[in-house]
Amino acid sequence: MIFKRKFLALGLLHACAVVLAGSDIGVAQAHDTNPSDNRISGGVAGIVSTGSVGRSGKNAASDVLAVQIALNQVPAREGGAMEDMLVPDAVVGPKTIAAIDRFQSKQFDNKPDGRIDPNGATLARLNELVAAQSLNARIVQVARGEELFWQNGQRNETDAAVSLRLVDYWAAVGQDFSEAQMQDEEFHAKWPWSAAFVSWVMQRAGAGEHFKYSAAHRVYTSAAKHNRQENNDNPFKAFRVAEKKPQVGGVIVNYRSGSLVSYDNVDNGDSHKTHGDIVIATNGKEAIVIGGNVGNSVRKRTVALNDQGHLESEAYFAVVIVEED
């Protein structure tokens, strides 16, 4: 059964919410048709704040990040930042305020105030437009934002500027680590974070309970394999490399360090060494992917495809796709 986008975007975002409180100043209340709908789609699960975002707002970092991610998922024709993305750095600067102004100007007929308050028209409309995007598209935009934040490999995992983000990645898979640990090379040698990165992206994109968040790529790959075998309504399905071409918003999974993992044995309970990258584009000859913990950073790179459009390298053993209408 093909997963229904509306159910994912609207139903599961209760588990991926940033809740704010207050009122939208400067935006006509006539537009505020659902003042109780104060969730930021694709936001951080479980974070609750009482502040606003933007000009003269409280600007809690978690709320700012959620707004930046949300604006990045809205097309420019709707006033969003999809084509001219914000760097999701959780800091309100001139570009973030300008993006809020632009969104309000497009969506409302009155003068923008550059601020998003809870229970207000701006937040409700932003939430609505993000929910209208496919999960595949949201995954791509969140991954692209992380590549911008990490400056495509220019920032290193031990840099203080990325410590809180790494803490957040680990929190997505239930691990509570400190900023100091994130700046320790020995820690990173023992705790590779590439699967935590994929899990965080999926969580932020609004995958909800359908993605198997884990610090190991084999875990979510195994879950997606079982979804495929059971033909259930979970959108995440895993296939052999020869069965499916890489698809935008999906993940391609390879073995590493001499592992003997394959599609057939990935779910046998062994601690297989694996890696997965998120596909953000394909052109028939190569897939463009973004991965975490690639050269101790987040990087965009290309992966060769064969004449049939399938992964060429034998190092890959699984293709995880997101099935949607």
Q: Do 197 and 266 reside in the same domain of the chain? A: yes
Q: Do 210 and 253 reside in the same domain of the chain? A: yes
Structure-derived torsion over alpha carbons of residues 53, 54, 60, 64, reported in degrees to the nearest 10: 80
* pTM (predicted TM-score): 0.88
Q: What is the pLDDT of residues 34-80, one digit of tens each?
A: 333 333 333 433 223 457 999 999 999 999 999 999 999 999 999 99
Q: What is the pLDDT of residues 156-175, one digit of tens each?
A: 999 999 999 999 999 999 99
Q: Do 142 and 199 reside in the same domain of the chain? A: yes
CA 275/CA 251 separation, integer angstroms: 10
Q: Do 23 and 96 reside in the same domain of the chain? A: yes
Q: Do 160 and 116 reside in the same domain of the chain? A: no
Q: Do 209 and 261 reside in the same domain of the chain? A: yes
Contact 220, 211 (CB under 8 A): yes
Q: Which domain holds residue 38?
A: 5-133
69 to 1, 52, 127: CA distances (angstroms): 30, 15, 11
Q: Do 148 and 162 reside in the same domain of the chain? A: yes
Q: What is the pLDDT of residues 244-277, one digit of tens each?
A: 999 999 999 999 887 899 999 999 999 999 999 9
Q: Do 268 and 298 reside in the same domain of the chain? A: yes
DSSP state of 304: E
Pick from 113, 133, 153: which residue ends a domain?
A: 133
Pick from 133, 165, 200: which residue ends a domain?
A: 133
Q: Do 218 and 287 reside in the same domain of the chain? A: yes
Q: Do 260 and 166 reside in the same domain of the chain? A: yes
Pick from 77, 109, 133: which residue ends a domain?
A: 133
Q: Do 119 and 163 reside in the same domain of the chain? A: no
Number of domains in the chain: 2
Does residue 137 have a pLDDT over 70?
yes
